[in-house]
Homo-oligomer: A and B are copies of this chain.
Amino acid sequence: MTPPKPPDSSPDDPCAPRWHRRPESRPDEILEAAEAVFGEFGYNGTRLEEVARRAGVSKGTLYLYFESKEALFREMVRARVLPIVDLAEQTLQEHHGSPADLLVKVVRQMWAALRNARLARMSRLMTAELAGFPELGRFYYEEVVLRSRRVIEAVLERGIAAGEFRAMPHRFVARAVPALLVHQSQTQYFSAGLDPNPLSDEQVIDGVIDLVLHAVLKPSRAKDRTNA
């Protein structure tokens, strides 16, 4: 996880200082620990003492860098999730090939992010806990959900304009694609061990792409695409 982190507590040299002052690196270490603990136990289930323990500091230190549990949670979301949305938008801007290729690319990229257990936990956490935090809910919805959806929408519109995609209720489809990915990743993660016949990551992503392309491509184009 975090190999190059020099432990504060060096091997038992009684003269060595028991801790170091590292105000530069503390915030990130705390966010790291917060991500793990919130992801594992949910917002309410998380004890700040546990976050502190994993970050290698005391509970009081958390309050030097974050003003409350909620603020810590919010900053953690901000730091860990937004970069992924940035990436999707960048891909959209830079791609100049066929819309179908772009769609596959974006879907694969999102899936790659979501199959990372950390992100899967985060997205579960969001649907789970956001109802209790209106302000964070608004932030997450606008900065993550809406921006992701707009990327998909733009791809679909390009495809329709290019005559590659059929006329479709693309406002709905733009919601359906992230929904599929998010829900699958949540399910995969949560139901490990419960499903008697689980799908592999490859089966999921292949399934999503198969389903989406069949739903989106003009029938005449479907055959050569979906087996590519």
A179 to chain B, nearest CB (A): 4
Decide if A127 is an interface residue (CB 8 Å cutoff).
yes
How far does the Cβ of A134 sit from chain B's closest Cβ, in whole Å?
9
Q: How many copies does the complex hold?
A: 2
Binds B, one of A59-67, A85-93, A169-177: A169-177
A173 and B211 contacting across the interface, CB-CB below 8 Å: yes
Assess whether A186 is interfacial by the CB under 8 Å rule.
Answer: yes
A176 touches B124 (CB 8 A): no
Quick check: is A131 within 8 A (CB to CB) of the other chain?
A: yes
Query: In chain A between 128 and 150, which residues have their CB closer than 8 angstroms to a CB of chain B?
Result: 128-132, 137-138, 141-142, 145-146
Cα A145 to Cα B187 in complex, Å, equals 10
Other-chain contact of A42, B131, B176, B208 (Cβ < 8 Å)? B131
**When A and B form their complex, which 5 residue pairs have the shortest distance between CB atoms, in order from nearest?**
A172-B207, A128-B128, A44-B44, A179-B183, A219-B219
- Further pairs besides A183-B183, A219-B219: 13, Cβ < 8 Å: A42-B132, A44-B45, A127-B186, A127-B190, A130-B190, A131-B190, A138-B194, A141-B191, A141-B194, A146-B196, A171-B207, A175-B207, A179-B183
